[in-house]
Amino acid sequence: MDLHINSRLVIPAKELKWRFSKSSGPGGQSVNKTDSRVELVFDIKRSSVFGPFHKQRLLERLQNRCVNGCLNIVASEERSQYQNRQLAIARLTNLLQEGLKPPPKARKTTKPTRTSQKRRVTAKKHRGALKQIRQSKPSADD
């Protein structure tokens, strides 16, 4: 089954590698019999779907999740293998969609306005005056 990332990107099923193993957690009597844990491996470097620019962007954005250019996704929350496969596909789709988004625009640095500078200085002077009042010691005449 091919994986549709968006309207123009479709990853062929042959580029997805599936591994199944026994899952820990709930399952009743069948917990040690079925391979319900799913591991989905997608090799970004060898993918024919993405061009070099998109591969580079994905590898940079997903570098914490990749091992040797391969993106590993594990799903073992559900009891059935089918549901875990659906979870893994959804996670891969979301990760690739987020990874392909262009980076946010850099914030343009601005100077503080004259009013905000005055407000800051006034607040500092007020705070200093408060501390000055607290420091004054009572005189001997009191």
**Domain with 7 in it: what CATH number?**
3.30.160.20
User: Does residue 137 form part of some domain?
Assistant: no
Domain for residue 86, yes or no? yes
26 pLDDT higher than 70: no
Is the residue at 50 inside a domain?
A: yes
**Domain-located, residue 115:** no
Q: Which domain holds residue 11?
A: 3-100
Helical packing angle, 81-100 and 52-61, nearest 10°: 110
CB–CB of 35/80 below 8 Å?
no
Residue 48 CA to residue 138 CA, distance in Å, equals: 82
Q: Which token pair is 102?
A: 């262009």
Rounded to two decimals, the pTM is 0.69
Neighbours of 82 (CB within 10 A): 10
pLDDT level of residue 32 (50, 70, 90 thresholds): low
- Round to whole Å and give the CA distance between 58 and 44: 8
Within-domain flag for 75: yes
Q: Does residue 126 register a pLDDT over 90?
A: yes
Residue 35 in any domain: the answer is yes
Report phi then psi at 4, rounded to 5: -95, 115
C-alpha to C-alpha distance for 90 and 82, rounded to whole angstroms: 12
Asked if residue 10 has pLDDT above 80, the reply is yes
Q: How many domains does the chain have?
A: 1
pLDDT tens-digit readout, 55-92: 999 999 988 988 888 899 999 888 888 999 999 999 99
Q: pLDDT band at residue 29, thresholds of 50, 70 and 90?
A: low
Does residue 131 form part of some domain? no
